[in-house]
A = this chain, B = another copy of it.
Amino acid sequence: MGVNGLWLIGLGPGDLQQMTVAALDAARDADHRFLEGYTALLPPTELENMETIVGPWELRMRSAVEEPDDLLSLAQSSKVALLVVGDPLQATTHVDLELRCDELGIPCHIQHGVSITTIVTGAVGLQSYRFGRQCTFAYPYGEYLPTSPLEIILANRERDLHTLALLDLDPSGMGEGQQEPMTPGIAMDVLRKMAQKLDVDIEDWKIVLCSDMGTVDARISVGSPTDISGIKEGRIHCILVPANLHDVEAAALARW
């Protein structure tokens, strides 16, 4: 028969009912299931549900995915599912896994998932074609604070484009566990520190905070950096920095 191979399977944004039918079938049908636990996180309730919905599974952190000899040798003789929150090919590591499979002659299959990128632009009501390059706010390490995320936002604003900023999940930067998704307060601190370094005034900016998107707790807030900084609710967040708003966009944002 030979149904060996690696399946890269998107779980969607959090709620497992947002897996595609094809992804769910492939995940259930696997001999081994590993949850990739470092590029994104599932809500705790969905972690609990996963065995019932999908089947027994084990957690794999960064080193096991970036040095995947064990995964790949297992995939040579059985059907191995690597479960990834969101869409499985949005992270370079997973594209690298595809290439390694190619080299080793191991079949590699992809089951896409709904990605946070689609959800936030749509849910907020900003137009997807008006987004420039996205960026990620990293946790500051001591005195080291790169200003490139704010440079990307400024370059986008200059062209009247919105920016999606993802927020770091891992203060250690190692991807091996103990993740602490960045809070709105820390994100605004990072934004202000970058602004100080680049000598830009961002205090009157309108920031859109998207919290726990794709789960039943999804929530959108709009406000100044000071407003956003004070928000304590929510588990995983990302931020949009809008450019000038078109009419429908302004009406859409006025809802929050």
User: Which A positions have Cβ atoms within 8 angstroms of B?
Assistant: 10, 12-13, 15-22, 24-25, 87-90, 92, 95-96, 98-99, 102, 110, 112-115, 117-119, 121-123, 125, 127-136, 155, 159, 161, 214, 248, 251-252, 255
Contacts and interface: CB of A to CB of B under 8 A. Distances in A.
Given A19-B21, A127-B92, A122 B112 contact: yes
B123 A110 contact: yes
Given A17-B21, A99-B125, A99-B252, 20 more contacts: A16-B21, A20-B20, A87-B118, A88-B122, A89-B122, A90-B118, A90-B122, A92-B248, A96-B248, A98-B125, A99-B251, A99-B255, A102-B255, A112-B114, A113-B114, A114-B115, A114-B118, A115-B118, A129-B134, A129-B136
A170 to B, nearest CB: 17
Contacts of A118: 87, 89-90, 112, 114-115, 117-118
Contact of A132 (B16, B24, B96, B133): B133
Contacts of A119: 87, 112
A77 to B, nearest CB: 24
B89 A123 contact: yes
Interface centre among A89, A110, A136 (most CB of B within 10 A): A89
Contacts of A10: 114
Nearest to A160: B133
